[in-house]
Amino acid sequence: MKSGLAKVLHRLEGRPLVHYVVECALRAGFQHSVVVVGFQKEKVMEALRDYPVQFAVQLEQNGTGHAVQIALAAIPEREGSVVVLAGDAPFLRSSTLKAFVDQHASSGSDCTVLTALVPDPHGYGRIVRDAAGNVSAIVEHDDCAETERQIREVNSGMYCFRLSSLVSCARLLTDENVQGELYLTDVVGIMRSKGMKLDTFTAPDWREILGINTVEQLNQGGAILGALREEA
C-alpha cells in the first residue's frame, strides 16, 4: 500500500476496509466474531470499538494458518461452524456469505472453500481438482507449477469449516513452503488426507472476492462497490 498504516485501516468511501467485512458478517447473522489483530492493533481495535467483536492478538505475523490458530484459542465452543474472512476484502455481499454458509451446513462438509472464476488469477491460490472434480489441494501462487498457474478458479481466502475438524487439523500445520509460513490453505490438504469431506462454493460475481493490496486497487474500489450495489 506504500503506507505506514495497517492495510485494513485504509479508507474506502471514507470508511476503513475492515468495517465492510465486519458488517457483512453481522448482516449474515454471525453470532460471534473474532478479529485477529497484530500490526497497529490498538488502531484497529479503536476503529472497531462500536462493533460487537472480540479481539485475538497475533504477536508474530506467521501466516494465515497461524492467525486462525490464534483465533481458535479465543473461541470457547468446539462444535458448530466457523467462517474465516479476510479483513482486506470489502466487496463480499452478505447474501453471498449467507448462501455460502447455508450450503456448507446442508452439505455436511468439513470444509467449504469460497472460490471464484477470475479473468486474471495472478497472485491467487489455485483450486486444484482431481479427475473426479473434487478439490485435491489449494496451491499458493508462489508454489504453483506452470500448469497450475493456468487454472482460473481461485481461492478467495475465505472458508467455512466444521469447527471440530478445523481445530484438529490446524494444529498439524507446518511452515514447509516458499514463504516459510503456516498456510491456512494447507488445512485443505490435511483434511483430504484424513478422508474428510471438502466442498466449494463459487461466488456469483468474481469481484466479490477481490482484496485490496495496492493504492490503485483502493482507488478502484468505489466503482466496484457501486456496481455490486446496483446489481444486487
Q: pTM here?
A: 0.91
How does pLDDT run across 106-163, given as a tens digit for each residue?
999 999 999 999 999 998 989 999 899 988 888 889 889 999 999 999 999 999 999 9
Among candidates 74, 30, 75, 77, which has minimal Cα distance to 56?
74
Q: What does the block give as the cell for 210?
A: 477481490
Average pLDDT over residues 15-27: 96
How does pLDDT run across 70-112, given as a tens digit for each residue?
999 999 877 899 999 999 999 999 999 999 999 999 999 999 9
Topology of domain 7-231, per CATH? Spore Coat Polysaccharide Biosynthesis Protein SpsA; Chain A (3.90.550)
CA–CA separation, 151 and 206 (whole Å): 14
The residue type of 7 is K
